[in-house]
Copies of this chain bind each other. A is one copy, B any other.
Amino acid sequence: MPTSTASRAEAALAGALRDAIGRLGRRMRHHANHPELSLGQLAALRSLDLHGPMSPSEMATHERVQPPSMTKIVARLEELGYVSRAAHPQDRRQVIVTISTAGAGLLEDDRRRRDAWMAQRLGVLDPEELAALRAALPALEKLSRS
């Protein structure tokens, strides 16, 4: 049974991956390079910057959180002035969330901060490891949204 054998061989990958992701997430949450925003808030903002204005539901789907969680994330981002909420022109139930100039500025700042973060964190990796990480990024993206 080649399939079973293959998948059993890769179960070790799944386990090690799960542990590493858990530890990494924990570290990232607590030693955030941007203390004002959580990982989830930052990811939502980046998604908005990348894909343009959208509704909270779409954002929730994209970031794989439940709608009430996204409500809170958007509320916090709006409170800080990084996004604005506007009524949908036709359907008044819907809300359109748009990134603000300040929000885009924060992401720009975040990019600069990541340079420093890299020196500390990704800096422990050698070029081969960095390349491996970059090559695996599409798979991680896909996995994180599947």
Q: Is the interface of A mostly helix, strand, loop or mixed?
A: helix
| Interface contact B21-A28, CB-CB below 8 Å | yes
A140: which of B10, B15, B24, B47 is its contact (CB, 8 Å)? B24
A115-146 vs B, CB cutoff 8 Å, 1 = contact: the mask equals 10111011011000110111111111111111
| Interface contact B124-A20, CB-CB below 8 Å | no
| Interface contact B19-A46, CB-CB below 8 Å | yes
| Interface contact A23-B10, CB-CB below 8 Å | no
Least Cβ distance of A69 to chain B in Å? 9
Interfacial residues, chain A to chain B (CB-CB below 8 A): 4, 7-8, 10-29, 39-40, 42-43, 46-47, 63-65, 110-112, 114-115, 117-119, 121-122, 124-125, 129-130, 132-146
